[in-house]
Structure 1
Amino acid sequence: MPLVLREARDTLVPDMGGPHGPLPPVMLVLTVLTGLVDAFSYLLLGHVFVANMTGNVVFMGFALTGAAGFSTLAATVALASFGAGALAGGITAHRARAHRGRQLHHTLLVETAFVTAAMIVALVSGGPYAGGARFTLIVLLGLGLGVQNAAVRVFGVPDLTTTVLTRTLTATVADSRLAQGPGSRAGRRLLSAGALLAGAFIGALLLLNGHPALPLVLAVALLAVLCTAATLLARSDAPWTRPRDEA
């Protein structure tokens, strides 16, 4: 089997006795979720991201010049909400630091609460989302994805950050044999990029051809599946559940 395909297979169906156990496929599902919610926020909430904060900093620069379609306030609210979510996610994860399965379970529950609240607001409001509904959605989704990113940082699964792909794609090329590097791990890294692309594509497809809240409905469904799995993983005593400094 070619190396790239083997790396992709090992990411999708990881060694449960390995250092990260089932976390790689969980990170891929969360990457799809990132694409879903950022499709919703960018296309319906006025050129703002709730997961990719680099984009919001750039958008803020655009808005400060008076460029049409960009809002300094929306970008600021997204950044502040994401930061608050990251704080909540960090606290939640560190309180369960003795068991990575419980870290996963607890942080997923918090993220699910925020994203579910956003879904309810989106369904009740019905779109187009403006005024209070728009900023409520930005806040709730920013909080949820901030929690997710804090948890992902704590887990530290290589190449699966669920949001930032610039370094991942750079490493794919810079670490390749062609660049005389140690090996690109292209199978895992390209799978991560593909998951984000798939989430964005599905999210845009759903909101452009159906109800605008559908990307959030699907995001909540994915989180429900992950929470169910995490309930079982929280009871595991496999090696991957130990804190990384003890593994």
Structure 2
Amino acid sequence: MRNTSLLNIKDLTVKVEEKSILKGLNLEIKEGETHLIMGPNGAGKSTLGNVLMGHPQYVIDEGNIFFQGESINDMKTDERAKKGIFLSFQYPEEIPGVTVENFLRTAKMAVTGKSIFVSEFQKELKEKMDLLKMPYEYKDRYLNLGFSGGEKKKNEVLQMAVLEPKLAILDETDSGLDVDAIKIIYEGIKNIADDKKSFLVITHYNKILDYLKPDYVHILIDGKIAVTGDIDLAYEVEKVGYDNFKKIAGTRSDMNE
């Protein structure tokens, strides 16, 4: 039985301050699939994550984003979150005065629209923190304040675990982390995954392939997906770099003119 289409991006063109970043991008993600997006700096990887989450700085010039068959082009960020889309930040913000526990409980209630008893939430939170090997006392610390880079990234994955989105977009969650931290984060993601949850993982590094096996790998070049393949494509990039893929993208661009 084929999985149901969850996200369908069609001919997406996006501008930031009148500069085109995404240029006719197409991508489909089905329920339970993990997709890896790779590409050189400036290709549009983080832009893709931000526009899927509805960042107001990114203007959709053409094309459509469908989530569970419904266009979300005009939806606000909170509406997208309630539908089940989550974006982890590459550089998580520090928020003094707001504890990890209060932030996550408030976010959970906002997304689900349901009240949650403190004792009930604390039990769930401890289970998720144990999964990510985070000390339980972190729940009482202010959100990301004084956290190391690895702790901030773990906290992003903890948010994902608590909110249980249908589509999790991970924007370079592995950047700046040592091998042990990467292992903990992605093993935590594996434990959270099921046949209904989908992941869009944006990365520069192949190290995550030791822990996370994508169904599809996409090479993003100059605002378009130049090549799609399986995990072997990621290993090819590691060996030869992006130059060959830039040539492919350039050839396709010439053919479309």
Calculate the TM-score normalised by the size of structure 2: 0.27
Higher strand share: 2
Higher relative contact order (CA 8 A, sep 6+): 1
